Amino acid sequence: MNKISVVYYSSTGFTQAMAEALVEGVKSAGIEPNVYKISEVNVDDVFSSDVIAMGSSACGAETIEETYFVPFMDENLDKFNGKKVYIFGSYGWGGGEYADNWKAQLEGAGANVVAMPILVNDGASDEELEQLKEIGKKLATI
Ligand SMILES: Cc1cc2nc3c(=O)[nH]c(=O)nc-3n(C[C@H](O)[C@H](O)[C@H](O)COP(=O)(O)O)c2cc1C
C-alpha cells in the first residue's frame, strides 16, 4: 500500500470538496492519507510519500494559487523527480489551462502524472466527485 499525501488550495470550497472526495476514496482502500492545506503543508511529510495528490483552483493568470502553492512548487521542484503525482482542481473562465501549465511543470521535473487530471468549472458534479473517489481508491496501489 502506498503512503499518500493530499495537498490543496481552495478559496470558496470547490477544490476542497474535490479533495475530500479523493480522500474518501483513499480511506476506503484502507489508507489514512496525510491531508494538508497548502498554507500548512509539511514538506518533509509530503515528499516521503509514494503518491502526492495536489489540488488547486485557477488563480492569477492561469496559475495555481500564488502565495503558497507557486513557491512550494518552485522550491521543491527537483523533489518531484520520479514521484507519482495526481492533480485536480476548479477553474472559472480559463477552461483549465492553468492545469495544463501545472502538469507540464511537473512532467518537466520528471514526475509521473498517474491519471488524467479532473478539472471542473466551479463545483464538481456528483459524477465528478465519484470519479475522484475512484481515483483516490486507485492511488492506494498504483
Ligand atoms: C484572484 C482570482 C484569480 C483567478 N484566476 C483565474 C484564472 O486565471 N483562470 C480561471 O479559469 N479562473 C480563475 N479564477 C476563478 C477560480 O479559479 C474559480 O472561481 C474556482 O472555481 C474557485 O475554486 P475554489 O473555491 O476551489 O478556490 C480566479 C479567481 C480569483 C479569485
Q: What are 7-51's pLDDT values in tens digits?
A: 999 999 999 999 999 999 999 999 999 999 999 999 999 999 999
- CB 13 near ligand 1, within 6 Å: yes
Q: Which atom of ligand 1 is nearest to the CA of 12?
A: 25
pLDDT in tens, 52-87: 999 999 999 999 999 999 999 999 999 999 999 999
Q: CATH fold of 4-139, please? A: Rossmann fold (3.40.50)
Q: Which atom of ligand 1 is nearest to the CA of 123?
A: 21
Is residue 42 a contact partner of residue 34, using CB atoms and an 8 Å limit? Answer: yes
String of DSSP letters for 85-135: EEEEEEESSSTTHHHHHHHHHHHHTT-EE-SPPEEEESSPPHHHHHHHHHH
Q: What angle, 0 to 180 degrees and rounded to 10, lies between the N-to-C axes of helices 14-28 and 126-139?
A: 40
- CB 59 near ligand 1, within 6 Å: yes
**Spacing, Cα 25 to ligand 1 middle (Å):** 25
User: CA-CA distance, 16 to 89, in Å (whole number)?
Assistant: 9
Residue with the smallest CA separation from ligand 1 atom 22 is: 57
Query: What pLDDT, on a 0 to 100 scale, did the predictor assign at position 121?
Result: 98
- CB 123 near ligand 1, within 6 Å: no
**Spacing, Cα 141 to ligand 1 middle (Å):** 32
- CB 11 near ligand 1, within 6 Å: yes
User: CA-CA distance, 15 to 89, in Å (whole number)?
Assistant: 5
| pTM passes above 0.95 | yes
Sole residue written with cell 476542497: 16
Query: What pLDDT, on a 0 to 100 scale, did the predictor assign at position 100?
Result: 97
Q: Which atom of ligand 1 is nearest to the CA of 56?
A: 26
Query: What pLDDT, on a 0 to 100 scale, did the predictor assign at position 82?
Result: 97
- CB 94 near ligand 1, within 6 Å: yes
Is residue 116 a contact partner of residue 5, using CB atoms and an 8 Å limit? Answer: no
